[in-house]
Amino acid sequence: MKKGPESSKELSRNDPCWCGSGKKFKKCHLGREQPPPRPKASVSQNPRRILIKTEEQLEGIRKSSRLTRDLLDMIEDRIEAGISTNQINEWVHEETLAQGAIPAPLNYGRGKGPRGRPFPKSVCTSINEVICHGIPNEQILVDGDIINVDVTCIVDGYFGDASRMFIIGEVPDATRKLVEETRKCLELGIAQVRPGGKTGDIGHAIQTHAESLGYSVVRDFCGHGVGVEFHEAPQILHYGSPGTGDLMQENMVFTIEPMINMGRPESRILGDGWTAVTVDGSLSAQWEHTIHVTGEGCQVLTG
Question: What end-to-end distance do the CA atoms of the chain give, in Å?
Answer: 22
In terms of Cα–Cα distance, which of 149, 258, 152 is closest to 205? 258
232-263 pLDDT, tens digit each = 999 999 999 999 999 999 999 999 999 999 99
Give the torsion sign (CA, 180, 264, 89, 291): positive
In a domain, residue 126? The reply is yes
What is the model's pLDDT at position 42?
36
In a domain, residue 136? The reply is yes
- How far apart CA 5 and CA 21 sit, in angstroms, is 14
Please state whether the peptide bond connecting residue 258 to the residue before it is cis, i.e. omega within 30 degrees of 0.
no
What is the model's pLDDT at position 30?
56
In a domain, residue 124? The reply is yes
- HSE of 229 in the Cβ direction (CA atoms, 13 Å)? 21
Q: At 24, is the pLDDT very low, low, confident or very high (cuts 50, 70, 90)?
A: low
Q: Between 302 and 116, where is the model more confident?
A: 302
Is the per-residue pLDDT at 2 higher than 80? no
What is the model's pLDDT at position 117?
84
What is the model's pLDDT at position 190?
98
In a domain, residue 70? The reply is yes
What is the model's pLDDT at position 109?
86
35-76 pLDDT, tens digit each = 444 443 333 334 468 999 999 999 999 999 999 999 999 999
In a domain, residue 44? The reply is no
In terms of Cα–Cα distance, which of 115, 129, 161, 94 is closest to 301? 161
Q: What are phi and psi of 234, to 5 degrees?
A: -95, 165
In terms of Cα–Cα distance, which of 206, 224, 222, 199 is closest to 276? 222
Whichever domain contains 227, its CATH number is 3.90.230.10
Say how many domains are in the chain: 1
What is the model's pLDDT at position 44?
36
Q: Which of 23-32, 73-82, 148-157 has the lowest mean pLDDT?
A: 23-32
Question: What is the rounded average pLDDT for all residues in the chain?
Answer: 89
76-108 pLDDT, tens digit each = 999 999 999 999 999 999 999 999 999 999 999
Q: Which residues contact 98 (CB under 8 A, 6 or more apart)?
A: none
Q: Between 18 and 275, where is the model more confident?
A: 275
In a domain, residue 28? The reply is no
In a domain, residue 3? The reply is no
Counting beta carbons within 10 angstroms of the beta carbon of residue 293, is it exposed (0 to 12), middle (13 to 18) or buried (19 or more)?
Answer: buried
Q: Quick one: average pLDDT of 22-47?
A: 49
Domain hosting 143: range is 8-21+33-39+51-300
Q: At 110, is the pLDDT very low, low, confident or very high (cuts 50, 70, 90)?
A: confident
In a domain, residue 71? The reply is yes
What is the model's pLDDT at position 280?
98
E strands, 14-96, are: none
Mapped to the 3 state alphabet, what secondary structure does 69-80 carry?
A: HHHHHHHHHHCC
Q: Quick one: average pLDDT of 270-286?
A: 96
- How far apart CA 84 and CA 125 sit, in angstroms, is 10
Is the per-residue pLDDT at 19 higher than 60? no
- How far apart CA 217 and CA 250 sit, in angstroms, is 28
Percent residues over pLDDT 70 in the chain: 83
